[in-house]
Structure 1
């Protein structure tokens, strides 16, 4: 059975909700999944799973959330060759740098040697029905990528 870890940063609860949607979608596909708040996560734990997911918000003018910085820096030092990754998160389209932290995490995963399993999913504020469908499809793509490697 495939395994996945979801690491999320959430200030308003939107990304916690996104992580919950992603977690449920993994469970529906028979994937053993664990979800943890980013300040409680250790990047080394990603070595123990097949699929790695980060769900984060973007702060201010495109910055990473303060609580995500240590995890982000540690992630860049990992060798995750053979792993599948996906990044998602919420933001506010009012800002020019909508979802920039999601893109930063995707670039960090790329540097670890992990394989992108799905395009990033960015949600404007709280997830709505169309976003839930995108997130469920995101998970299906991640699982398919893991099965096809």
Structure 2
């Protein structure tokens, strides 16, 4: 069975809602999913999963989540060439150029592990509404397609 890990960081609950929707979509596709809060997750565990999704928030003026800084730094210490990943996050467009920059930062850090980016980064404004739920469904479908293509090679 295919195993996925969803790691999230949240202040307002929005990113946990995003993570839960991603998990629900994985489960609808018969994927075994583990959910972890970022401060309780050691990067070494990422090696145990076929698919990894990070859901970080961006704080204030483009800062990464404080409780995720060690996780972020530790990504530089591992290689994940067999892992397919995606990064999604909720933010507030009010912050302009700082909107969801943690999504891009974590995506770059995962890319540096030699993991395979399974889909484009997903940035959602505030709490995931009906439109966002459709975007999340597409995000998960694309991750699964990338994973299936990798496996069939």
- The TM-score normalised by the length of structure 2 is 0.96
Question: Aligned partners of 2:114, 2:95: CA distance in 1, in Å?
Answer: 31
Q: CA RMSD in A?
A: 0.6
- Is residue 120 from structure 1 mapped to residue 115 from structure 2 by the alignment? no
Per-residue deviation at 1:78?
A: 1.1
- Per-residue deviation, residues 91-143 of structure 1 (Å, max 9, x unmatched): 11011210000000000011000010010111111100010110111011111
In structure 2, the residue matched to 1:88 is: 88
Question: Aligned partners of 1:43, 1:62: CA distance in 2, in Å?
Answer: 23
Q: Name the SS of the counterpart of 1:33 in structure 2.
A: strand
In structure 1, the residue matched to 2:53 is: 53
Instruction: State the number of aligned residues.
Output: 149
Question: Aligned partners of 1:77, 1:137: CA distance in 2, in Å?
Answer: 31
Q: Name the SS of the counterpart of 1:76 in structure 2.
A: helix
In structure 1, the residue matched to 2:137 is: 136
Question: Aligned partners of 1:62, 1:28: CA distance in 2, in Å?
Answer: 34
User: Does 18-27 or 69-78 show the bigger shift?
Assistant: 69-78
- Aligned pairs for 1:1-149 (under 5 A) are 1-96=1-96, 97-149=98-150
Per-residue deviation at 1:76?
A: 2.0
In structure 1, runs of 5+ residues without a counterpart are none
Question: Aligned partners of 1:51, 1:70: CA distance in 2, in Å?
Answer: 21
Q: Name the SS of the counterpart of 2:77 in structure 1.
A: coil
Runs of 4+ in 1 over 2 A off after TM superposition: none
Per-residue deviation at 1:77?
A: 1.4
Question: Aligned partners of 1:2, 1:94: CA distance in 2, in Å?
Answer: 38
In structure 2, runs of 5+ residues without a counterpart are none
